Structure 1
């Protein structure tokens, strides 16, 4: 285990409203992490360092949803030993959409987009 992705637990309808508000404020919505169909963790204003972990198409970590005392949590686990000063990354696995988000990870196996 590397770190838990923490933030405010919200429902989809609230996430949609916040996403729009964040975009209007110029914040963006990159710190909204879906747990399941109805639950999102919003780390935008009250998250930890996990929100700053970048995407990679060839990551050294992965995100996993676990249940602790009936509460779902997102935990980042390492795939391999991670060296000092090595960037921690995981595949965001964004859903496939028509509008592509460019990927700049630089991996040899880069897909070219986050979705």
Structure 2
């Protein structure tokens, strides 16, 4: 475990009416973690098509949490990254991760 992605837990319905934030992380169909105003350092982890970490939703005491786990040893001063896995949409978001196997888009 590297870090938990924390923030305000909001319902999907409410989120549709808020300004879109780059710090929204979907837990399930109904719940989103919004780290815009009350997040931690996890909200600054960048995307990579060849990440050294992955995100996983776990349940602790009947509450769902998002945890970032390492895939491999992470060296001192090495950037921590994970695959954002954005949903597929018509309008593509360009990926600038620079990985050798970059998909070219985040969705």
Which residue of 2 is the match for residue 85 of structure 1? Answer: 77
Provide the alpha-carbon RMSD of the alignment: 0.7
**1:27-106 aligned within 5 A:** 28-106=20-98
Structure-2-length-normalised TM-score: 0.98
Structure-1-length-normalised TM-score: 0.91
1:3 equivalent in alignment to 2:3: yes
Report the count of equivalent residues.
Answer: 107
Which structure carries more helix by proportion? 1
Answer yes or no: is the 8 Å Cα contact 1:15–1:32 preserved in 2: no
SS in 2 for 1:47: coil
**Once the 2 structures are TM-superposed, how far is the Cα of residue 17 of structure 1 from its aligned partner?**
1.5
- Residues of 2 paired with 1:62 and 1:78: CA distance? 6
**Which of 87, 102, 105 is the matching residue for 1:110?**
102
Instruction: List, as ranges, runs of 4+ consecutive aligned residues in structure 1 with deviation greater than 6 Å.
Output: none
- Residues of 1 paired with 2:69 and 2:3: CA distance? 7
Answer yes or no: is the 8 Å Cα contact 1:57–1:91 preserved in 2: yes
- Unaligned 5+ residue runs, structure 2? none
